[in-house]
Chains A and B, each alone.
Chain A
Amino acid sequence: INPDIAEERRNAKFDPVELTYVIDGGKEKTERRRYLESEVLNDPSFDDPMDISFMTDEQRHTNSVRKAIQVVRRTQELEISNPMELIWFRAATNPLEVPSLSLHTSMFMTTIVNQMTLEQRSQWESAAKKFELIGTYAQTELGHGTFLRGLETTATYDPRTQEFEIHSPTLTSMKWWPGNLGKTVTHAIVAAQLYTKGHCMGVHMFMVPLRSLETHLPHPGVELGDIGPKFGYSNIDNGFLRFNHYRIPRENMCMRHSQVMPDGTYVPPPHKKVSYGSMLPIRSAIVGNTGWALAKGCIIATRYSVVRRQSELIPGTKEAKILDYQSQQLKIIPNIATSFAFILTGKEMMKTYFDSLAEMNEGNFSSLPELHATSAGLKAFTSAVVASGLEELRMSCGGHGYSKASGFPELYTTAVPATTYEGENTVMFLQTARYLMKV
């Protein structure tokens, strides 16, 4: 142990594990998390063949999918089904990257559970849980993002064959960005404008098979590909998707809240925003996740700042630990405080989400507007603060913060997409403002 960092720990007035228990929600949870992490960290099958900083994007994609599949196998063997425990396990397998197949277990599964009828769930939920298919969530289009009503993909009902014809009528209507869409998934929940009896009924969700389960080739009428290298997320094949009059059965429309009857009659949802529901758990989860990203940055900057010595604080003495300079404290300590604030706020947000979900499952949608507004605003607020916080922490490490050895480049580029995905931040703030103006 470096003597400077050892000295810091000797000064502590409390055992850090006490705060670990606060963060995790109790000693039992900490012990369970540590056990699950140890299952990953001591399993060589989860080791990367080399430092991911030294890999090409294709090597990273292949390695990431390999690990994601190994996660499925191991979590089934260990009979882990608790959502939080699955998150802990996956996080341990991908320290710096967003895990592959994460949209399968989040938005794809959430949509199946929350937006399909019990009959539909019996067909899709089990298959998705057993990974007999791999899914993603395809909403964003090349020319359209957060504004759902602007989406152009169409799903036109044909009562003669009782099928929907999914079509991309323009270049800008191509689905663009969904994680693992390009080369990995076999199915997608697709957001499309529903047309029946000649009328547009707005955006609805459809379960769409994209690739053959035998050959992995795209079905006729489906064009798929990777959108190319990005600022970060190098291990993920964010994809594009174009439909050419592609047909799916009527039963593939998510029909829990609104329905199209065999003759084409449309039955509207009880609440106009229920179809937005898939975004809510992700936005709610982003709040806590941003806190954890900032926490990692704080660990790196704080530990380095007691090892790094620079200049004489008092002339004629040894070079000082850089954390002893007030200017360095101002860069780091408010970020430590912020990370704790966001981790605790994230816990509160998830509790609010699950309480509201329970109410909505009983037909009470009264909390939906507040949940929608709060999750949107907090997602934007926390992700924006963390983006600037991580940059400040990187700079607090001087030149070494710019090296990939510091962890900051991967940490930053994995955290900052939260400012634009699941709703661009300014649009999210304006959604919160709309709610505040109403109340």
Chain B
Amino acid sequence: ARQVGSGNKLVGCAAYLQSNLSPRCLAKRQTDFLRQDILVDAYKHRAKSVVMLAAKRMGEEIKKGHSQPVAWNNCHMYLIKAAMAHCHLYCVESFFDGVNSTDASQPAVDALMSLCQLYAIFGISQNKGDLLQDGYINGEQIDMLERQLIDLLAIIRPIAVTLVDSYDIPDKMLSSVLGRYDGNVYENLYEWAKKAPLNKKEVPAAYKYIGPFLKE
């Protein structure tokens, strides 16, 4: 933020702080929220605005006569939000980059892209206050975005099991009766319970208290 203020050219993962972003979200219809440029711009806008707001609040604290460390402490709420927004943008961009660089079949890429779009849309929905606060996005657009989220859930639901199969984690490494590849959950929960240490004896050690108590 300080370097942006001084006009220095930024490089690296914070270069967006200097980019000319649209002041308003350009989505006009629901499906626009599937576009990478629209989604990434929203994250860039959010990160830039909360970073700059944190810098502004820091400046105001200093102007009040507070020392730098006291000003910093008084701005933790803004600063942590700024760091989170910056990291969230990094994850969204990395996800899109990962999807765009795959050479899998079209159905597989489509599945991954749907997941990526859902990740980005879900994050905006969860943090919509940041974008509504400065008027970047309006209530109507949020409604379209959340409708798109629901449509994506319906697209991903039928392939959910295949998606998690693709993590390729064998049962022995997953170590979960509920998550077994064969889905035979209930019979194996029963087998697992029978092996529990408390089931080694029909009458537990605690009977030394139970027995006399019942006879009292």
Residues A77-121 near B (CB distance < 8 A): 91-92, 95-96
Beta-carbon contact of B173 and A92 below 8 Å: yes
Most buried by A among B1, B105, B157: B157
List residues of chain B with CB within 8 A of the CB of A12: 159, 161-162
- Nearest CB on B from A374, distance (A): 6
Residues B147-180 near A (CB distance < 8 A): 150, 153, 156-170, 172-180
Dominant SS at the A interface? helix
Select from chain B the residue with minimum beta-carbon distance to A379.
Answer: B87
Known A-B contacts A306-B183, A326-B150, A381-B91; the reply to A299 vs B119 at CB < 8 A is: no
List residues of chain B with CB within 8 A of the CB of A406: 176-179
List residues of chain A with CB within 8 A of the CB of B163: 16, 19, 302, 336
B26-34, B92-100, B129-137, B202-210 - interface stretch: B92-100
Beta-carbon contact of B104 and A381 below 8 Å: no
CB of A68 within 8 A of chain B? no
Beta-carbon contact of B168 and A20 below 8 Å: yes
Beta-carbon contact of A341 and B95 below 8 Å: yes
List residues of chain A with CB within 8 A of the CB of B172: 41, 95
CB of B185 within 8 A of chain A? yes
Beta-carbon contact of A95 and B174 below 8 Å: yes
Most buried by A among B17, B84, B167: B167
Interchain CA distance A11-B163 in the complex, whole Å? 12
- Nearest CB on A from B19, distance (A): 13
Mark interface residues in A327-346 (1 if CB within 8 Å of B CB, else 0): 00110111011111110110
Beta-carbon contact of A1 and B174 below 8 Å: no
Beta-carbon contact of A374 and B159 below 8 Å: no
CB of A170 within 8 A of chain B? no
For this complex, into which size category does the number of interface residues on chain B fall?
A: 35 or more
Known A-B contacts A5-B161, A397-B178, A437-B55; the reply to A337 vs B118 at CB < 8 A is: yes
Select from chain B the residue with minimum beta-carbon distance to A397.
Answer: B178
Beta-carbon contact of A22 and B104 below 8 Å: yes
Most buried by B among A21, A51, A323, A377: A377
Beta-carbon contact of B160 and A323 below 8 Å: yes
CB of A439 within 8 A of chain B? yes
CB of B189 within 8 A of chain A? yes
A241-249, A278-286, A427-435 - interface stretch: A427-435
Tally of contacts, chain A with chain B, CB under 8 A: 287
Beta-carbon contact of A2 and B183 below 8 Å: yes
Beta-carbon contact of B91 and A342 below 8 Å: yes
Beta-carbon contact of B90 and A345 below 8 Å: yes
Known A-B contacts A303-B161, A436-B14; the reply to A20 vs B167 at CB < 8 A is: yes
CB of B76 within 8 A of chain A? yes
Partner of A16, one of B3, B102, B165, B182: B165
Interchain CA distance A205-B48 in the complex, whole Å? 38
CB of B21 within 8 A of chain A? no
Beta-carbon contact of B1 and A303 below 8 Å: no
Beta-carbon contact of B107 and A14 below 8 Å: yes
List residues of chain B with CB within 8 A of the CB of A11: 158-159, 162
Beta-carbon contact of A436 and B54 below 8 Å: yes
Partner of B95, one of A324, A344, A434: A344
Mark interface residues in A408-439 (1 if CB within 8 Å of B CB, else 0): 10110000000000000010111011111111
- Nearest CB on B from A18, distance (A): 4
Beta-carbon contact of A340 and B14 below 8 Å: no
List residues of chain A with CB within 8 A of the CB of B196: 54
- Nearest CB on A from B215, distance (A): 32
Known A-B contacts A16-B163, A348-B97, A439-B10; the reply to A300 vs B80 at CB < 8 A is: no
Most buried by B among A1, A19, A295, A411: A19
Beta-carbon contact of B157 and A333 below 8 Å: yes
List residues of chain A with CB within 8 A of the CB of B168: 16-17, 20, 23-24, 30, 34
Interchain CA distance A95-B108 in the complex, whole Å? 28
Beta-carbon contact of A432 and B87 below 8 Å: yes
List residues of chain B with CB within 8 A of the CB of A298: 164, 167
List residues of chain B with CB within 8 A of the CB of A5: 161, 182-183
Known A-B contacts A300-B176, A345-B90; the reply to A405 vs B193 at CB < 8 A is: yes
Interface residues of B (CB under 8 A from A): 1-4, 10, 12-14, 17, 51, 54-55, 58, 72, 76, 79-80, 82-84, 86-88, 90-92, 94-95, 97-99, 102, 104-105, 107-108, 111-112, 115-116, 118-119, 122, 150, 153, 156-170, 172-185, 189, 192-193, 195-197
Q: Give the 4 A-B CB pairs with smallest separation, nearest first.
A: A2-B183, A407-B176, A5-B183, A300-B179
